[in-house]
Amino acid sequence: MNPEPGSILVTGGAGFVGSNLCLALREAMPEADIVAMDNFYRRGSELNEPRLLAAGVNVHRGDVRHADTFPRGRFDFVVECSAEPSVMAGQDGNPDYLYHTNLTGAYHCLEAARRWNAAMVFLSTSRVYPIARLESHPWTEEETRFAWQDDGVHGISSRGVTEQVDLTGARSLYGFTKLAAEQLIGEYRETYGLRAVINRCGVIAGPWQFGKIDQGVIALWVMAHHFRDALQYIGYGGTGKQVRDVLHVADACDLIIRQIRDFPAWDGWVGNVSGGLRNSLSLRELTRICQEVTGNTVPIAEVPERRPSDLRIFIGDSERVLSRTDWRPGKDPLQIVTDLHGWVRECEHSLAAHR
């Protein structure tokens, strides 16, 4: 093991993953200076500020789009968790915020890391994989979900998408900004010797996620069941059989902390970090778990038409990451929903104001 880092900057540190990570880092590395930088763009992120401060995490108001708003001083690590994380961003005709936060922001993080001689952990996404390739893979319809078939081609199987999949094709503007940032990181590694790891995450879920229709579906579903709001199954015939895998945010944080602690062993890593087939579920299956956990049933309308960038199935095959570490996703979908619901109940009043 390496000496513990003295200082870690988490950009997007008041967001869902960022805030959970800052608190997990605080606990794992009590001596380290942990700074959460955020511009509080995401509705709900402001609710994280008091709990970060109470835990001894410094909060710095800054915007990754503007290099001069980064904190002064130097850091040993930059964990880039800031983003406009919606796959629908830019579909309204204005990609400006998405582009500059996700791509210019990544560039500013890289420049800061270079200046500080810091190592970088970048949160990328399964959305780097081209939509047409995923959508055209053969699938079957089962009673409660769609499932990919094993046809042995394209790097996709019933276990999910591997890093071998051909990256040619469109992937949404969001996916593009993330893949472009990944490639920029690759160039910084080559040109400047920057140390970096890239985690391509699928759906991450857990407490302190302010779910919206276009991002954070598990939290959205749990909150709707708790507050008895109506929902919709959108696309693919409106049956709710579309599938995602899900990783508990605590499991994601656990892996990132292991990477920081053992960075030389991880330096250069680019790959899937996903809940995998075992942690996959369809919307219908999610509904059943939400009913079981909350005791509530809500009306769910069926909207047959799919939206642009929708995916029938996404499961990330994390075989590569699993083969290099004894890290394993510890929490299954039932535990994830139970944890989320526990948080919703605890913070019912402040959350009611944010819906």
Residues that bind ligand NAD in the complex, under the rule CB under 6 A:
12, 14-18, 38-42, 45, 63-65, 81-85, 101, 105, 123, 125, 201, 203-204
Instruction: Give 94's contacts (C-beta < 8 A, 6+ positions apart).
Output: none
Do strands 156-157 and 160-161 pair parallel, antiparallel, or not at all (unpaired)? Answer: antiparallel
Rounded to a whole number of angstroms, the minimum distance from the CB of residue 163 to ligand NAD is 15
Cβ proximity to ligand NAD, 11 vs 157, nearer residue:
11
Please choose, from the candidates 13, 114, 135, the residue with its C-alpha nearest in 3D space to the C-alpha of residue 67: 114
Rounded to a whole number of angstroms, the minimum distance from the CB of residue 277 to ligand NAD is 17
- The owner of tokens 């109506």 is 230
Name beta bridge partners: 80.
11, 122
Rounded to a whole number of angstroms, the minimum distance from the CB of residue 313 to ligand NAD is 16
Other beta carbons within 10 Å of 348: 12
Closest residue (Cβ) to ligand NAD?
A: 15
Rounded to a whole number of angstroms, the minimum distance from the CB of residue 113 to ligand NAD is 16
Cβ proximity to ligand NAD, 84 vs 251, nearer residue:
84
Instruction: Give 230's contacts (C-beta < 8 A, 6+ positions apart).
Output: 224, 298, 299, 300, 301
Cβ proximity to ligand NAD, 40 vs 146, nearer residue:
40
Cβ proximity to ligand NAD, 91 vs 237, nearer residue:
91
Rounded to a whole number of angstroms, the minimum distance from the CB of residue 74 to ligand NAD is 19
Rounded to a whole number of angstroms, the minimum distance from the CB of residue 222 to ligand NAD is 14
Cβ proximity to ligand NAD, 7 vs 126, nearer residue:
126
- The owner of tokens 């954070």 is 216
Cβ proximity to ligand NAD, 16 vs 221, nearer residue:
16
In total, the chain counts a number of residues equal to 355
Distance from C-alpha of 132 to C-alpha of 129, rounded to nearest angstrom: 9
Other beta carbons within 10 Å of 215: 21
Distance from C-alpha of 351 to C-alpha of 223, rounded to nearest angstrom: 9
Distance from C-alpha of 68 to C-alpha of 24, rounded to nearest angstrom: 28
Please choose, from the candidates 125, 71, 87, 81, the residue with its C-alpha nearest in 3D space to the C-alpha of residue 105: 81
Looking at residue 227, its amino acid is F
Rounded to a whole number of angstroms, the minimum distance from the CB of residue 201 to ligand NAD is 4
Other beta carbons within 10 Å of 107: 18
Q: How far is CA 312 from the centre of its chain?
A: 19
| DSSP code of residue 103 | I
Rounded to a whole number of angstroms, the minimum distance from the CB of residue 82 to ligand NAD is 4
Rounded to a whole number of angstroms, the minimum distance from the CB of residue 41 to ligand NAD is 4
Cβ proximity to ligand NAD, 64 vs 344, nearer residue:
64
Cβ proximity to ligand NAD, 157 vs 209, nearer residue:
209
Cβ proximity to ligand NAD, 58 vs 237, nearer residue:
58
Distance from C-alpha of 59 to C-alpha of 53, rounded to nearest angstrom: 7
Distance from C-alpha of 249 to C-alpha of 257, rounded to nearest angstrom: 12
Other beta carbons within 10 Å of 116: 17
- The owner of tokens 């190592």 is 119
